[in-house]
Amino acid sequence: LSPQRLSSSPLFPYTALFRSDSLTGIHNRRYFQDRLKAEMVRLNRTSGNLSVIMLDIDHFKRINDQHGHAVGDGVLQELCKRISQRLRRTDVFCRLGGEEFMVLCPHTDGEQAYSLAMELWTSLRSAPMEPVGIVTASFGVASWRVDEGIDGLLLRADSAVYVAKQAGRDRVEAERLRA
């Protein structure tokens, strides 16, 4: 069903269930993938900018192991609250799964996305989350390149998160530029 037909459907109140993560209330992976595809169509038609910010909570398994899953769930909810408060209306924030999240940033170049990621990183670690203390995350930033598909963009964001993890975690890394 198209979004227009779906909104007039008797199933409309339930559509949010298919687009949202039940624990955090933010968008889910399915919604993110749909929006990313739509943005790629827009870019191929009109050009412009698009960036993604991927983040992965550092040592999340340790939080669950030491404090229990209920506290871990609370950490995920608080992280979503802090990140959401810093995003622009045009940004799309979603939970990919577990402790991994993505921000889709339409009309945003790499430098702007990196600045936003730094702001998100700062807001996350600005105050402790009771009872676990300061929670950190590793961030990766990538920007769309002409003639690039979805997989290439996401792979570069994921690689930047990997670089952040390997460099000691609790940092923002941007994609490596082509030589």
Please count the CA atoms within 13 angstroms of the CA of 137 that sit on its side-chain side.
Answer: 27
> What residues are annotated to the active site?
99
**DSSP of 138-162, one letter per residue?**
EEEEEE--TT--HHHHHHHHHHHHH
Report yes or no: 100 and 56 within 8 Å, Cβ to Cβ.
yes
Distance from the first to the final alpha carbon of the chain: 44
Whole-angstrom distance, CA of residue 72 vs CA of residue 20: 19
Write out the H or E segment, with its range, that includes residue 50: strand 50-57
Task: Please name which of 78, 71, 104, 69 lies closest in space to residue 25, comparing C-alpha atoms.
Answer: 78
